[in-house]
Structure 1
Amino acid sequence: MTTAQWLLLGAFVAALLVIAWPLARWIDAVMAGRFALGRRLEAPLFRLAGVRPEEETGWLRYAAGLLLFNALGMLAVYALQRLQGGLPLNPQGFGAVPVDSALNTAVSFATNTNWQGYGGETTMSYLTQMLALTVQNFLSAATGIAVVVALVRGFARHGAQAIGNVWADLTRATLWVLLPLAFVFALAMAGMGVIQNLAPYAVVGTLEPGGAQTLAMGPVASQLAIKMLGTNGGGFFNANSAHPFENPTALTNFLQMLAIFAIPAALCWVFGRMVGDLRQGWAVLAAMGVVFVLCVVAATAFEQQGNPQLSALGVDAAAGPGQPGGNMEGKEARFGIGASSLFAVITTAASCGAVNAMHDSFTPLGGAVPLVLMQLGEVIFGGVGSGLYGMLVFAILAVFIAGLMIGRTPEYLGKKIEVFEMKMAAIAILVTPLLVLLGTAVAVGVAPGRAGILNPGPHGFTEVLYALSSAANNNGSAFAGLSANTPFYNGLLAVAMAIGRFGVILPVLAIAGALAAKKRLAATEGTLPTHGPLFVVLLIGTVLLVGLLNYVPALALGPVAEHLALWTR
């Protein structure tokens, strides 16, 4: 990495810590109901809906409410897409979205995946962009926050039968966390050049005599804000954050990267505050941070090295193996390799999926870094809420492994980890690898799946593996090069997204309920400290070994094989 790239990484980490600390205090106060003005303002809404926020429920009723809420969201998004041709705010006259694409998009946005098999500016009306996609960006992010707060309550409480009120948690996360942050961020982005209007698409002249070009317009800044803050990632434009109307400058690019990590980083400290020991939050944040920095260094180094075949062709024989200046294919010149690689790692470490460069054009191992981050389960910061509850499941597994090594019943935060919790943790950890590997096998094994692969060999396999990894882990970024907007892939990826989301949420809530009912154990000399460097190393090792080993054969067939072929020709 160059000096400038190190400075960019350092500035990002420093700015993130500065932002996340006060944000954590705010989220903790809001979700605990200590925001007095908020309680007064939300009271009429609760009365209108017949909700009593003080009446908490067990995990089963909490989960049922969450499933109902998300099912209704899917239905609304699907209906708006199918009916958009007859609805207002459609200056381009777009017709109904095809059934398979509409279903895929409805599942995608309800699960915080935001996978897009279509071009936004050529498919969705302004009304659909705002009322379906932008609204669901708020609600899916609120779902993640609600789940992680419920899980942390399970650790913090003892002898309790309830983990919270799902409707109160969803309302507070939306009204007092996501909405104010998105409002301020949208104003900032609009002030820096991100467009925000309801005008018809503009037709402008080009340098070619008589030439004309159509420029898509629309309410971009409002969707961009929650797309980043909610780790959603679905772009208004097909080019996503590489589009100059959506990400015009290096400053907007830096702020968008900060927005992706802001809430996931803050939630680590919210966890520490809620369990009464900030060191616990620091330990989880440190584990995430170490893996993140290593991945940024690796991705940037691979991209800076470039393509050795260009040197072999005599582009710059004196430069030695590699590509002079690094691999700029598929990258915006205004961002360069450093900001593009950093963005790629951030968006796949979080379950965001927004992109400012074409991951398909990365070097084989440079593209493998975002792929691996998704396959780890999106726990390195991860999505809003989902990253932390995924990491806490790995923490439960880590203390279980430590307990086996010393012959002691595992404990975490004063709660004994027993058979039920380990069964649920195993389900939460294994559901996504099963979806990814089985889905990839099906896709490359049947004719409709193979028909979508445009690149032969290992690269084409990686494109399929990346798509299933992105869908099952609710990331949403695409390797491209795969024709995925077909009935086969729209159906397959929709199933992966739905099971990948709720197949993890349900066992996590079951763990929350079981832990809340347990009594707190006093720490003894044999208790494993879970706030120091030893536990950080143990947690990182558990994530890397358990999270990644499932994918080693698949990675060998894809990016590793492509890398070896590239460097041995």
Structure 2
Amino acid sequence: MGILQIVVVLAVLVLLVKPVGTYVYHVFSNEPNRLDRIFGPFERLVYALIGLKNRVGMSWKKYAFSFLLTNIVLVAVGYLILRAQGVLMFNPNGVGEMEATLSFNTIISFITNTNLQHYSGESGLTYFSQMAVITMMMFTSAATGFSVAIAFVRGLTSKGRTIGNFFEDFVKAHTRIFLPAAVLVTLLLVALQVPQTLSATLSVTTLEGVAQQIAIGPVASLESIKHLGTNGGGFFGVNSAHPFENPNGLTNVVEILSMWALPAALPYTFGLFAKNRKQGWVIFGAMMSLFVLFLSLTYFSELRGNPAVNAMGIDASQGSMEGKEVRFGIPQSALFTTVTTAATTGSVNNMHDALTPLGGLAPLAEMMLNCVFGGKGVGLVNMLMYAILGVFICGLMVGRTPEFLGRKIEPREMKLIAIAILAHPFIILVPTAIAFLTDLGKGSISNPGYHGLSQVLYEYTSSAANNGSGFEGLADNTSFWNITTGLVMLLGRYISMIAMLAVAGSLVRKQWVPETAGTFRTDNKLFYGILIGTVLLIGALTFLPALVLGPIAEHLTLR
């Protein structure tokens, strides 16, 4: 029954890929379509308000500058609100201002689509901060990532001279994708008993006569964009394990599909831009194959249980239920864990710190690869980066100048891709080493030995991959962790984005090369295998030693 639950959700996801991917293509193709009659009037009003008179295409440098400047303004406004939230409106529970380093970490976390939370949402934020900062940035950070991904796709597939206009893409991402989808999912969640209110915390008396405070608030609206935008920051400290955020199995499936549908549909959108749907399905197939591999590892590891618990004579016939909600069980917990780290959402419906060693290795590995579907656009961009790398390696092996989608891949593009590939392990492994060299870092570890290394490694991997989930046994609300993870989140978000925009800008200016009999095809089974092999090879070379010292060593010790 557990496998059947998982298969049904996977089948629904596959059925959504084509219609969702086609819709996204029509949104960003800039070709006249029926959507213009629905959203056009409102968008023209927005363009007028922001002074966007001519929506001309931009160079990659202007596109990058535009999205960076927009993000900087949003960071400044959001930081001020968090620091002053105690005296602002919609604060019925009397929450005070947020501490300076925690405000820095929080604002960086949400603008980078990471949503790493070193605070508890129900007690650390006012309703105004939840809506005006957290929810607002869940929309804008997702729209930014989506826009950059579309610009990159245009650079690979367009025969024009530009990669599009950032502000037009940014507005369309809001008006045609995230806002309509968020309204629909919010209404669905409210119908399924997720709270949506501005009332103060409830004071109730239990059956034992004990007074208790129950936190509520505008939960459903945050939940919808939290998953649609692959953000992950919860209204409550325990995130989607909380019965108000995720009350039952049906809401669990809704949240899984919400965070997974758009990233899974983007490869199909890419195929439509490339005028080659098989190309899109090859990318999707590689992503799904890797996903099933990690899902199987998590599911069967949790199903086998913890040998240390089994040795104590405790009935573990249901598998390792530590840290999991009974209403979800192992199947929906394992699926949620794999999806939230594959899509770099960071939302959790169980405590990842309580996973078995190999069960915890799977989400770690997905974030290290950062291309198994990935977040809003980032996963597709990273997978295309590996595709170009695979083509380059194969081209060198046969002594031919590599080509991808009719563009020659030359040293400039490979240098930029190398920067993006090497930056990711660098900003994970170096801070992890620094944390173990200082008392500020080691003092936060709650578990000695191999699991302690996994806790630190997971924290920085989650930050670098803009995921935001954590092995929450780590006491991370300190100045050291707030500042270091904040810096890792910044580097993890913007180095790869800028590098990939530069690649797009370089490719879009190149002469298109007609396909010949000697062209290396990238839309067949051979390239599907090459793509998966390239991803696993690069991932193993960069991260396997760290994984051996953490979850793999812990697994072997337990056995």
Give your verdict on TM over 0.5: yes
Q: Which whole-Å CA distance do the structure 1 matches of 2:248 and 2:314 have between them?
A: 30
Q: Which whole-Å CA distance do the structure 1 matches of 2:17 and 2:212 have between them?
A: 42
Question: What does residue 409 of structure 1 align with?
Answer: 401
Q: Secondary structure at the match of 1:204?
A: strand
RMSD: 1.1
Q: Secondary structure at the match of 2:502?
A: helix
Question: What does residue 161 of structure 2 align with?
Answer: 161
Q: Which whole-Å CA distance do the structure 1 matches of 2:6 and 2:532 have between them?
A: 21
Query: What displacement does 1:412 show?
Result: 0.7
Q: Which whole-Å CA distance do the structure 2 matches of 1:262 and 1:315 have between them?
A: 39
1:187 is aligned to 2:187: yes
Q: Which whole-Å CA distance do the structure 1 matches of 2:173 and 2:383 have between them?
A: 20
Is the CA contact (8 Å cut-off) linking 1:199 and 1:218 kept in structure 2? yes
After TM superposition, the structure 1 stretch with the greater mean CA deviation from structure 2, 457-466 or 16-25, is 16-25
Question: What does residue 235 of structure 2 align with?
Answer: 236
Q: Which whole-Å CA distance do the structure 1 matches of 2:6 and 2:330 have between them?
A: 12
Q: Which whole-Å CA distance do the structure 2 matches of 1:203 and 1:125 have between them?
A: 18
Q: 1:36-62: CA deviations, max 9, x gaps?
A: 222333112212222135311100000
Q: Which whole-Å CA distance do the structure 1 matches of 2:289 and 2:54 have between them?
A: 39
Question: What does residue 460 of structure 1 align with?
Answer: 452
Structure 1, unaligned runs of 5 or more:
317-322
Structure 2 counterpart of 1:162, which letter? T
1:257 is aligned to 2:245: no
Is the CA contact (8 Å cut-off) linking 1:296 and 1:341 kept in structure 2? yes
Select 1:32's aligned residue among 14, 22, 29: 29
Question: What does residue 109 of structure 1 align with?
Answer: 110
Select 1:18's aligned residue among 3, 15, 24: 15
Q: Secondary structure at the match of 1:213?
A: strand
1:441 is aligned to 2:433: yes
After TM superposition, the structure 1 stretch with the greater mean CA deviation from structure 2, 212-221 or 487-496, is 212-221
Q: Which whole-Å CA distance do the structure 2 matches of 1:361 and 1:44 have between them?
A: 50
Is the CA contact (8 Å cut-off) linking 1:178 and 1:229 kept in structure 2? yes
Q: Which whole-Å CA distance do the structure 1 matches of 2:456 and 2:119 have between them?
A: 17
Structure 2 counterpart of 1:201, which letter? T
Q: Secondary structure at the match of 1:512?
A: helix
TM-score of the superposed pair, with normalisation by structure 2? 0.98
Question: What does residue 355 of structure 1 align with?
Answer: 348
Q: Secondary structure at the match of 2:115?
A: coil
Q: Secondary structure at the match of 1:303?
A: helix
Select 1:492's aligned residue among 457, 479, 484: 484
Q: Which whole-Å CA distance do the structure 2 matches of 1:166 and 1:400 have between them?
A: 29
Q: Which whole-Å CA distance do the structure 2 matches of 1:311 and 1:237 have between them?
A: 33
Question: What does residue 319 of structure 1 align with?
Answer: none
Question: What does residue 385 of structure 2 align with?
Answer: 393
Select 1:545's aligned residue among 516, 525, 537: 537
Query: What displacement does 1:262 show?
Result: 0.7
Select 2:553's aligned residue among 533, 547, 561: 561
After TM superposition, the structure 1 stretch with the greater mean CA deviation from structure 2, 305-314 or 118-127, is 305-314
Alignment of structure 1 residues 84-123 onto 2, 5 Å: 84-123=85-124
Question: What does residue 320 of structure 1 align with?
Answer: none
Query: What displacement does 1:144 show?
Result: 0.9
Q: Which whole-Å CA distance do the structure 2 matches of 1:382 and 1:354 have between them?
A: 14
Q: Secondary structure at the match of 2:203?
A: strand
Query: What displacement does 1:533 show?
Result: 1.1
Question: What does residue 136 of structure 2 align with?
Answer: 135
Question: What does residue 126 of structure 1 align with?
Answer: 127
Structure 1 counterpart of 2:24, which letter? I
Q: Which whole-Å CA distance do the structure 2 matches of 1:339 and 1:48 have between them?
A: 45
Is the CA contact (8 Å cut-off) linking 1:300 and 1:338 kept in structure 2? yes
| Structure-2 change in CA distance of 1:346 and 1:76 (3 Å) | same
Question: What does residue 48 of structure 2 align with?
Answer: 47
Is the CA contact (8 Å cut-off) linking 1:53 and 1:168 kept in structure 2? no
| Structure-2 change in CA distance of 1:262 and 1:463 (3 Å) | same
Structure 2 counterpart of 1:29, which letter? H
Question: What does residue 206 of structure 2 align with?
Answer: 206
Structure 2 counterpart of 1:467, which letter? E
Query: What displacement does 1:551 show?
Result: 1.0
Question: What does residue 330 of structure 2 align with?
Answer: 337
After TM superposition, the structure 1 stretch with the greater mean CA deviation from structure 2, 473-482 or 307-316, is 307-316
Query: What displacement does 1:207 show?
Result: 2.8
Q: Which whole-Å CA distance do the structure 2 matches of 1:519 and 1:180 have between them?
A: 39
TM-score of the superposed pair, with normalisation by structure 1? 0.96
Structure 1 counterpart of 2:273, which letter? M
Q: Which whole-Å CA distance do the structure 2 matches of 1:45 and 1:564 have between them?
A: 58
Q: Secondary structure at the match of 2:213?
A: strand
1:9 is aligned to 2:2: no
Query: What displacement does 1:547 show?
Result: 2.4
Q: Secondary structure at the match of 1:456?
A: coil
Structure 1 counterpart of 2:429, which letter? L
Question: What does residue 196 of structure 1 align with?
Answer: 196
Query: What displacement does 1:324 show?
Result: 2.4
Question: What does residue 381 of structure 1 align with?
Answer: 373
Q: Secondary structure at the match of 1:116?
A: coil
Alignment of structure 1 residues 293-304 onto 2, 5 Å: 293-304=292-303
Structure 2 counterpart of 1:95, which letter? G
Q: Secondary structure at the match of 2:521?
A: coil
Query: What displacement does 1:266 show?
Result: 1.3
Structure 1 counterpart of 2:326, which letter? A
Q: 1:256-304: CA deviations, max 9, x gaps?
A: 1011111101111111111111111101000000111111111100001
Is the CA contact (8 Å cut-off) linking 1:299 and 1:366 kept in structure 2? yes
Q: Which whole-Å CA distance do the structure 2 matches of 1:548 and 1:214 have between them?
A: 48
Structure 2 counterpart of 1:354, which letter? S
Is the CA contact (8 Å cut-off) linking 1:453 and 1:482 kept in structure 2? yes
Q: Which whole-Å CA distance do the structure 2 matches of 1:299 and 1:496 have between them?
A: 27
Q: Which whole-Å CA distance do the structure 1 matches of 2:500 and 2:94 have between them?
A: 44
Is the CA contact (8 Å cut-off) linking 1:53 and 1:167 kept in structure 2? no
Structure 1 counterpart of 2:486, which letter? A
Q: Secondary structure at the match of 1:193?
A: coil
Is the CA contact (8 Å cut-off) linking 1:53 and 1:165 kept in structure 2? no
Query: What displacement does 1:161 show?
Result: 3.2
Q: Which whole-Å CA distance do the structure 2 matches of 1:304 and 1:536 have between them?
A: 30
Is the CA contact (8 Å cut-off) linking 1:375 and 1:548 kept in structure 2? no
Question: What does residue 225 of structure 1 align with?
Answer: 224
Is the CA contact (8 Å cut-off) linking 1:137 and 1:226 kept in structure 2? yes
Q: Which whole-Å CA distance do the structure 2 matches of 1:368 and 1:276 have between them?
A: 38
Structure 1 counterpart of 2:158, which letter? R
Question: What does residue 59 of structure 2 align with?
Answer: 58
Is the CA contact (8 Å cut-off) linking 1:471 and 1:493 kept in structure 2? yes
Structure 2 counterpart of 1:558, which letter? G
| Structure-2 change in CA distance of 1:414 and 1:282 (3 Å) | same
Q: Which whole-Å CA distance do the structure 2 matches of 1:310 and 1:163 have between them?
A: 56
Q: Which whole-Å CA distance do the structure 2 matches of 1:311 and 1:279 have between them?
A: 48
Q: Which whole-Å CA distance do the structure 2 matches of 1:217 and 1:352 have between them?
A: 23
Structure 1 counterpart of 2:511, which letter? K
Q: Which whole-Å CA distance do the structure 2 matches of 1:279 and 1:53 have between them?
A: 35
Q: 1:473-520: CA deviations, max 9, x gaps?
A: 111001111011100000000000000000110001001101100111
